[in-house]
Structure 1
Amino acid sequence: MKVLVIGNGGREHALAWKLLQSKQVEQVVCVPGNGGTASMECCQNLPLAVDDFEGISQYASQNGISLVVVGPEVPLAKGITDYLQDKRLMVFGPVRAGAQIEASKAWAKALMQEAGIPTAQAAVFTEAAAAKSYVKTQGTPIVVKADGLAAGKGVIVAETIEQAQSAIDAIFQGQFGSAGKFVLIEEYLIGQEVSVLALTDGLTIRSLLPAQDHKRIGEGDTGENTGGMGAYAPAPIATPKLMARVQTEVLERAIATLRAKGIDYRGVLYAGLMITPDGNFKVLEFNCRFGDPETQVILPLLETPLEELLLACVQQRLGELPPIAWKEGTSATVVAASGGYPSEYEKGQVITGISEAETAGATVFHAGTKLNQQQEVVTDGGRVLNVTGIGENFEQAIAQAYAGIKHIQFEGIYYRRDIGHRVMSAEQGEQTPV
């Protein structure tokens, strides 16, 4: 079968890489892809925009594409699944109505409240003055969120009233684009965040391994929020007992409520959780797609062929499959970013050392890269590479990732040196604060 993967990040490279491990997948086409997907055997890039629905549809129909897998949230929110389904193409990813669960934090919060899903207390505002007044009554720390899609950067944890008011102004003044029509003010929760990605056919929902992302740019989880600076899986804090509760109290309730609204949700439902010190949890947000960089640590541990799971979701027969099979061990990834990210950064820097990193045992997923006219791999984004290691334990997996990233060079390269610090402390027998 031939599979078309939409997107150009590390998540899409990982999806293409995993799909091509199956004997059933003869070719993967990435739209538009990146320098990594351009270099893989049996994989090609197609230079179309992710929202060129007509161009994607024509190519898929004329070239025998069996399945379209949508990586990013933006085309899902714009209705790419609806469009391609109308052209009788099989698409993995929710329809536009379902993608609201990420495209509007206010809509998602209302759905959680309706479904009885544990979530943080929040209020939605359309005017800055009312939002600022609410912040004064609630006090700080407090969380200020842009309502719509903001590439993982529309969440500000304000430590002071002044920071919260500045964040409100920034959102309403359009710093996060169309995500600035509404502001969500949410209570600040203490604990550790865990990403639970689940596959669903609209009736059955099955979680993948829980992962823990590192969203802050700085070591010690400091500085600005980013799209993610590294991750590991499976996250030990998400115990089997807790995951059983997440299944019934979050995932199944969400799918049932979506179905009651007449939304046939098939794809990934990604729940971002806060695990509190008392062992309970609340849902911070839902996403409608595979996480990035969580996908880059989950898929290397997946034993079940990926295309079998995706097709079962599209064809609404996930419940007929046996339980998802996983490899033993752990996985960790470190993001190599452009200097200046998540603010201004340069593109076009030549990257060296990728083959040496892979020889050292790491798997390198390209994120913000492309090939230049000389066929050199150059930087083309804020998050450039995901260097992933696998091991019997986290110490081995993290060591392999860092052994690999030491070989990577490009002007301005930046990466955190403490990915996995919480889980490493736990493995070494120390008390891990939450």
Structure 2
Amino acid sequence: MAIEIKAPTFPESVADGTVATWHKQPGDAVKRDDLLVDIETDKVVLEVLAEADGVMGDIAKAEGDTVLSGEVLGSLKDGEAASAPAAKPAEAKAEAAPAAAESTDEPMLSPAARKLAEENGLAAADISGTGKGGRVTKEDVLNAVEAKKNAPAAAPAAKPAAAPAAVAVGEGDRVEKRVPMTRLRARIAERLVDAQSSMAMLTTYNEVNMKPIMDLRKKYKDLFEKKHDGVRLGFMSFFVKAATEALKRYPAVNASIDGNDVVYHGYQDIGVAVSSDRGLVVPILRNTEHMGLAQIEGTIADYGRKARDGKLTMEEMTGGTFTISNGGVFGSLLSSPIVNPPQAAILGMHKIQERPMAENGQVVILPMMYLALSYDHRLIDGKEAVSFLVAIKELLEDPARLILDV
């Protein structure tokens, strides 16, 4: 009895998917819950697991094929049906072994030839027999021994001749590699182009003195990690909390446009841009107004691991009312992030750089970071955007404001 392997049911926002990788091939043994195939969609990679023990049957959709929700990908032979086919290869190998042994003993060696061959470490297959019926004679063995002695001298002479050809391919040829764009990368490209063509996008900049946050982190990071079971205190949690507070004060930045309507969200779901081998993904921290620093840091670390392993779920990637992107981890000093529709704004963090600054009439060296807020000018006025960014700056430069709500 064969069990159909079907594509998972895609969410409404996903029309179809692409077969990314088959982890089992026809004839492979399969255990229940083994990973059979990865389906890549516009947002995440979905895994299809085996429903029962058995043997992999025919594959209906090859790697690279487009599949719809619930479409048949292949078949899995269940345990009983698979037992017979599974035994056949073993039987075939057992039958093939004697046959191979017989063919190895051909051609036949005379007693003197066999003894001479064994003394020189030669197998029967290494010797060409010229005797009656293909029998190997003593002279045939002597000829094979002589050929073996000459073989090592010929081999090194051939190797240097091959080396220049390999070098020439690397040095002289103009190599190009053409690979199809992944669905995720294609979707990212599409959304970025749509955002720039459909929004009145504008970016405002400011800078923040990171010394107060750095001093606070240095003072409490060990105690924080010990109390919260190894969760490390980073900078991102402070930015998430500051952004959450600023979004409460300026609800238009937390809103979105739906046709001719403006939707004001009474919650803060902040997306954190995470780089992965497959491209940029933005998992969502939900209800950040109710999250503490430790919960934020722990969730972000978990999302980072899932992004690297391709394990982020559709639910973790869907929604979001605001996004924070940290190009500073890659050394970016200043950039203009692109808004992630249908959101109305995105905050860009950058590299912390020591710079001479004027403070109380004195020039001091401070760790400074440029901040960038890109926003949809159709919904957010310049005054509102600048005030929002200044609020984040003030909250970060005086972290006590986050606690006192001032």
TM-score range, shorter chain: under 0.3
Identify, as 1 or 2, the structure richer in helix: 2
Larger radius of gyration: 2
TM-score w.r.t. the length of structure 2 is 0.22
